[in-house]
Structure 1
């Protein structure tokens, strides 16, 4: 007599939610729940709070007349210029600081001093010294991205396991080979984290810079809308900034996973 078939064990809820489909479902539920809460608050709980429908209509109007597109292009150009310059300089500077302790001891106090100064405090002297054009805006974005990324980079170099470095040297690797084969791969996750943090700092800084002095951009449009108490326009700019930042952050996260595919993840 054949034994009865063994019933298949159902996957635990944690395993079901761990895959791409589960993550997508959770994200969709989160968006729907957020919109529901927003609609409830705008329905009378919070005075003058625009609801999703009014913000969507205003966003369509701004997109139709070209205002929203022009503001997005202006802010993106400033963010990308300052961010790329900041990361391009922060990564080699962080490697130098992490690899040479003397350089780190000399530069580190000044680095942390600048990190404690808010970007809003740097914008006024930057405008006075550089004028009201694009240069001061790009400079403060560059500084915010640079400071976030350089600290993470040199911390990644310092955190490299000494055992790996010594093992490479025992096998006959020279300094350049150790640096390329051990230090760079081991510090890549730290660099990726610094780049993501720097991206958030860049967006926060560009909005602050455009609120003070700009002829166009998402932050500048928010400032103009504030004068006329145009809350739907302000919310449109907030949502666009969040969406652009989220898309760019997901892109960096995807690149990080491809570069650090060897790293164990939960």
Structure 2
């Protein structure tokens, strides 16, 4: 039996892949501990004016016990997930249309590039005037950030498909719909999933700005309130919570990506 056969697993994953995953997890934990240790060392004695880890941990305990953190997480998650999912659901078909039809690409791309150059923060005054101050403008700003990130990745994925595969399918008698379903979609899936992950990051990054719009709860809203009173531990609690939620959601998307692109070679 060859060396390749000994180390290979069904699905193309090396036999040592699980060990590599454990090693990577161990390095993640080492990095986390090292980061907290550096933070603690820098804040010892109030040297840099930031709260030390024990003070932030105590505030975490307070807001969890009061139920405030759960309320803020629920409010922010609803806004982020709604805007993000709407953005992805619309971005993927628009990206496919732009990549597959040159006429559609010429018509849509100028608008797409125009809005990409406008920060979501700049849309907030217009959103307030046209949509009011309820949940709609908050979700719209998050939707726009997610949509723009995902549609570009989808479009780039379609136009990056190897033309040799398309021509080979045509030679074998495949029609346009078959080529689209069996060649274009699978080949562009890695690009789409990267765009989805970037769109998720954009959604969380836009959350604090979105919650400037007359919010009464949410992690971004809590940070703004804490800023008024120079309440640094509460700001850190919201920052860490946003980071942890975003990281958890990104890891879920990463697992989905690996399952959908199991055929793709990885380093």
**Backbone CA RMSD of aligned residues:** 1.4
Q: CA deviation at 1:84?
A: 0.4
User: Number of paired residues?
Assistant: 252
Alignment partner, residue 94 of structure 1: 95
Question: Is the aligned partner of 1:250 residue 2:246?
Answer: no
Structure 2 length as normaliser, TM-score?
A: 0.92
Question: Any stretches of 5+ residues in structure 2 without a counterpart?
Answer: 1-15
Alignment partner, residue 3 of structure 2: none
Alignment partner, residue 242 of structure 2: 241
Distance 1:139 1:165 in 2: 37
> Aligned to 1:19, what secondary structure does the other structure show?
helix
> Aligned to 1:25, what secondary structure does the other structure show?
helix
**Are the counterparts in 2 of residues 168 and 178 from structure 1 also a CA contact under 8 Å?**
yes
Within-5 A mapping of 1:44-55: 44=45, 46-55=47-56
Q: CA deviation at 1:22?
A: 0.7
Alignment partner, residue 43 of structure 1: 44
Within-5 A mapping of 1:40-189: 40-44=41-45, 46-189=47-190
**Are the counterparts in 1 of residues 146 and 202 from structure 2 also a CA contact under 8 Å?**
yes
Question: Is the aligned partner of 1:34 residue 2:35?
Answer: yes
Distance 2:27 2:264 in 1: 25
Q: CA deviation at 1:213?
A: 2.7
Distance 1:147 1:86 in 2: 8
- Residues 16, 221 of structure 1: CA spacing in aligned structure 2 closer, same or farther, 3 A cutoff? same
Per-residue Cα deviation, 1:119-178 (whole angstroms, up to 9, x for no partner): 110011101111110000000111110000000001100000011001011111111100
Distance 2:56 2:166 in 1: 56
Alignment partner, residue 222 of structure 2: 221
Distance 1:254 1:16 in 2: 14
Q: CA deviation at 1:48?
A: 2.6
Alignment partner, residue 191 of structure 1: 192
**Are the counterparts in 1 of residues 83 and 142 from structure 2 also a CA contact under 8 Å?**
yes
> Aligned to 1:47, what secondary structure does the other structure show?
coil
> Which runs of 4 or more aligned residues in structure 1 lie more than 4 Å from their structure 2 counterparts after TM superposition?
15-18
- Residues 264, 175 of structure 1: CA spacing in aligned structure 2 closer, same or farther, 3 A cutoff? same
Q: CA deviation at 1:47?
A: 3.5
**Are the counterparts in 2 of residues 211 and 220 from structure 1 also a CA contact under 8 Å?**
yes
Question: Any stretches of 5+ residues in structure 1 without a counterpart?
Answer: 1-14
Distance 1:183 1:76 in 2: 33
Structure 1 length as normaliser, TM-score?
A: 0.92
Q: CA deviation at 1:18?
A: 6.9
Alignment partner, residue 12 of structure 1: none
Is the radius of gyration larger for structure 1 or structure 2? 1
**Are the counterparts in 1 of residues 154 and 191 from structure 2 also a CA contact under 8 Å?**
yes
